[in-house]
Amino acid sequence: MPLDGLQVRHYLLLKLIGSGGMGEIYLARDQRLDRQVAVKVVRSDLVLENDEEQSAKFYRLFQREARTISMLDHPHILPLFDYGEVSHNEARLTYLVMPYHPEGSLDIWLRKSGKTTPFLYWLLPRSFVRLPTRYNTRMNGISFTRM
């Protein structure tokens, strides 16, 4: 369901900029702070409207995930500005608000810049694993130091 032009609290959804398994991402205008943001709207079919117990459980898990994201502080992780749930045409819309970067996702940026390597994809998911010894790896002119 296209949501372009929809007002979600103080966020005006301007246009669809991405989609994935969990939902759709919209470029939006934060009307309180007059800035562009990215709003991820969770797919409505993931929230069981007719099952209040499952819907409440989903929202509790979503809140826990939002709180967990908000506690992360790392230069390579986007901060969470806001999250919530609103009703629209008798459907519940659950959303996350993060900074908007016109470059797109890390995956898109890596592909455009030509820096995508199987090694880099191997490394990124493990970037927060702390290893007991230090070692250096050099591949494609990029040097990584692990601890």
Task: Tell me the CA distances in angstroms from 9 to 71, 85, 118, 133, one per residue in order.
Answer: 23, 9, 41, 49
Percentage of residues in the chain having pLDDT higher than 90: 29
Query: Which residue in 80, 113, 83, 118 sits closest to 99, CA to CA?
Result: 80
The domain ranges of the chain are 7-99, 106-146
User: Average pLDDT for residues 135-141, to the nearest whole number?
Assistant: 40
* Structure-model confidence comparison of residues 136 and 47, the more confident one: 47
Give binding residues as ranges: 40
Predicted model pTM: 0.70
Do 8 and 39 touch, CB atoms closer than 8 A?
Answer: yes
Give binding residues for ATP as ranges: 40
Give me 75's structure tokens: 């230069």
Least confident of 43-47, 53-57, 109-113, 131-135: 131-135
Q: Which CATH number fits domain 7-99: 3.30.200.20, 3.40.50.2300, 2.60.40.10, 3.40.50.720?
A: 3.30.200.20
